[in-house]
Amino acid sequence: MTAPAAAPHVDIDLRVRYAETDRMGVAHHSVHLVWFEMGRTEFCRAAGFAYADLERQERIYLVVAEARCRYKAPVTYDDPIRIRTRLDPVSARLLRFRYEIFHLGQNRLIAEGETTHVPVDGEGRRTTVPAPYATMLAAWSRPADTR
């Protein structure tokens, strides 16, 4: 897939599943991090590789070093949502993904956050993202001046 010319991001649309809700019928706060992971996985796929291949073929793992989520509004079972994922400028030793989750029916932001990842090898030692993968990700990262 060709990288977008401006405002590179990847969107995935889904509906809140019943299993993702709490007793009050609202999406549980922990599921937002799962949705972030879904966005990150699809971002890598759009950039040109499956995250699973990075692990299987290169034995490189992107460890979550930090995760943050700011909750803006609730969503409930079967609400349509969009997960938008962006990547800050790429460093071979650190990746920072940013997320926005929107309620599609009401066209409003329900959560935003970021995850910071450190690449490690199969023994858990810090390493760098292999050059071909870093190049693919860099083509999809947002310019430094659009923070």
Alpha carbons 59 and 56: distance in angstroms, whole number: 6
pLDDT exceeds 50 at position 147: no
- Return the pLDDT at 4: 56
pTM, rounded to two decimals: 0.91
Q: pLDDT tens digits, residue range 39-79?
A: 999 999 999 999 999 999 999 999 999 999 999 999 999 99
Give the 3-state secondary structure of residue 49: coil
The answer to whether the beta carbons of residues 99 and 39 sit under 8 Å apart is yes
In sequence order, the 6+-apart residues with CB closer than 8 A to the CB of 30 are: none
pLDDT exceeds 90 at position 113: yes
Taking the domains of the chain in order of start, what are their residue ranges?
10-141
Q: Which two tokens stand for residue 31?
A: 């599921």
- Return the pLDDT at 3: 55
More confident residue, 85 or 140: 85
Alpha carbons 57 and 144: distance in angstroms, whole number: 30
Give the 3-state secondary structure of residue 67: strand
Q: Are strands 95-103 and 10-15 parallel, antiparallel or unpaired?
A: unpaired
**CATH class for the region spanning 10-141:** alpha beta
In sequence order, the 6+-apart residues with CB closer than 8 A to the CB of 107 are: none
Helix then strand then coil, % of the chain, to nearest 5: 30, 35, 35
The answer to whether the beta carbons of residues 7 and 146 sit under 8 Å apart is yes
